[in-house]
Amino acid sequence: MSDLSIYEKQSFGQKLSFGRQSALLIIDFQVGFANPEVLGGYNINEAMDKTVILLKTAREHGIPIAHVRYATQCEGSDIGTFALKVPTLKTLTVDCADAQFVPLLMPLTGEYVSVKRHSSAFFGTNLSSWLTFMGVDTLFIAGCTTSGCVRASTIDASAYGLRPMVVLDCVGDRAQGPHEASIFDMGQKYADLLSLDEAMSHFSGKS
């Protein structure tokens, strides 16, 4: 038996399918993550470009949209041991250029916007309350990094009873190995995996 066939034997990877109300969550598509010299790498910029298309489609069809970014207000002391593991995170203060959303994915008035201080878009924010208020049960997820904040947010979305939908073309990481391993893991345990075309088709009411 291969090391992966055991997942099928144990009935992992079942489909969640769509619920009644979808929303789009975009995580950490910030200037610093677009730069391999800061926190970027591998396919993050390509994922940003694809998310521009997904975001446009979501807006055209009135899909609720949430934008969450990482920033620190206290030069790292408000993110605890996370700053010890990744000291670069201490440089992303709220007002610095690297902490801002990339220009092509800037939020619009009326869209949910929040700042987080750890991996999950849910931890320390009121994202869950907003999603509940909006009646959302299905959460499409784009952002970076796949193995970090996307994965953490996907797990928390599942823990809150949502149906996570990871849009494969719209998530990126700074290295290929963690990206691919995390996609496999999320698809087996927590989320459905969709292409950009499948996500747009759903937003437009064609699926």
| Residues marked as catalytic | 149
Terminal CA-CA length for the chain: 36
Contacts 24+ apart (CB under 8 A), 52-56: 52/104, 52/105, 53/196, 53/200, 54/24, 54/140, 54/142, 54/167, 54/169, 54/170, 54/196, 54/199, 54/200, 54/203, 55/24, 55/26, 55/105, 55/142
In single-letter form, the type of residue at position 139 comes to: L
Phi/psi of residue 155, each to 5°?
-60, -45
Q: Are 32 and 92 in contact (CB under 8 A)?
A: yes
Cα 56 to its chain centre, rounded Å, is: 17
The neighbour count for residue 64, using CB atoms within 10 Å, is 20
Alpha-helical regions (H) of 15-111: 44-60, 82-85
Joined tokens for residue 96: 């610095």
Place of tokens 């996570």: 164
